[in-house]
Structure 1
Amino acid sequence: MIHPHLPSTESVVGAIRAIADEHRLEVEVTHDIGADRTSRRTSAGVGTVLDPDGSLPHEAYVELGGSPSVAVRVHSEDDAQITVDGVQFDDVPRDHVPAFLRSLYGGLAHVKGRRFPPGWWLVVPLPGDETYKELVLLGALTPWMSARVRNGKG
């Protein structure tokens, strides 16, 4: 069950839409509502809408147009999965999603690494001390990522 201090799926989607509007990006949203429709409820029987605790799970999948390609799956728990040009950031707290996207579209996100030995990381710093960092697979640097490479330690 979602705790009262955590943002709802709909409020996170609203924040994503506002950021997309600021950056003139197209947005496509798909809502999955009910235990039999959400990605983490695979054991729920067909037609099972409520979780055992009586809550109604609500998940959303948001695709943003433009470059980089960005998709956000807002889980019915307190986290989200953000994929940037094929690089997947799992377990991002819901309340960090807006700051993550602002960092991404505000030019703070960058790729850090070395050519030899090879190692590239997509780094998304948030206000404060929070930073998200994921490995970019060999050969998976997109033009958007290549334009944001900073050499140094990975």
Structure 2
Amino acid sequence: MISRMDRLPTTEAAVAACRAIADEYAREMEVTHDIGADQTSRRTAAGVGVTIDPDGSLPHEAFVEFGGSPRVTVRLYPEDDALIAVEGVECPDIPRDDVPAFLRSVFGRLAYVKARRFPPGYFLVVPLPGDRTHKEYMPLISLSPWLSSRVR
């Protein structure tokens, strides 16, 4: 088990952490790897046939999709951050080291939706270790059945 104190120095280490969480919560998981500057999403300026960065490194990006409800996807970027989507609600710029804790909060039913009266709207709130939370605004239209069941 990977604790919150463990660093995830590479994309492959983060994928391994996601696999452990998928096993822990009995979820199916599919992974797609993009390796090389010409394949990763943030390296669109890479020339044709250029696979390494100017510093000689080979960037590695992964897209992880979990089965079951809620629908969760994780895009792990080479720059030590991730984009996590929960039921279509995108949570950008999650530090790669926080990905396991974020997933445990979602799959462990700690994440919830906070309703706001004025102006009307909702926030997906995901508790993280150390009294931190990640909050993401959601428009009124985007409430899936899973998100609706988590409203507080």
User: Do the structures match in fold with TM over 0.5?
Assistant: yes
Mapped to 2, the partners of 1:40 and 1:102 lie a distance apart of: 27
| Aligned-pair CA distance for 1:138 | 1.7
Cα distance in 2 for partners of 1:101, 1:20 equals: 9
Whether 2:96 is the aligned partner of 1:90: answer no
Please point out which of 34, 37, 48 is paired with 2:36.
34
Aligned to 2:10: 8
* Partner deviation per Cα, 1:86-145 (whole Å, 9 max, x = no partner): 110111000000000001111110000135542100000101122111011121111101
Matches within 5 A, 1:70-81: 70-81=72-83
- Aligned-CA RMSD value: 1.2
> Which residue of 101, 107, 110 maps to 1:108?
110
Give, as a single letter, the amino acid of the residue that structure 1 aligns with 2:94: V
The number of aligned residues is 146
Could you tell me the TM-score, scaled by structure 1's length? 0.91
Tell me which amino acid in the other structure corresponds to 2:88: G
Letter in 2 for 1:94: R
Aligned counterpart, 1:47: 49
Q: Percent identity?
A: 68
Structure 1 residue ranges without an equivalent (≥5)? none
Return the alpha-carbon distance in structure 2 between the equivalents of residues 50 and 111 of structure 1: 41
Q: What is the CA–CA distance in structure 1 between the aligned matches of 2:70 and 2:9, rounded to whole Å?
A: 25
| 8 Å Cα contact 2:76/2:82 also seen in 1 | yes
The letter for the 2-side match of 1:138 is L
Gaps of 5+ in 2: 1-6
Residues of 2 paired with 1:115 and 1:85: CA distance?
A: 22
Which aligned segments of 4 or more residues in structure 1 are displaced greater than 4 angstroms?
A: none
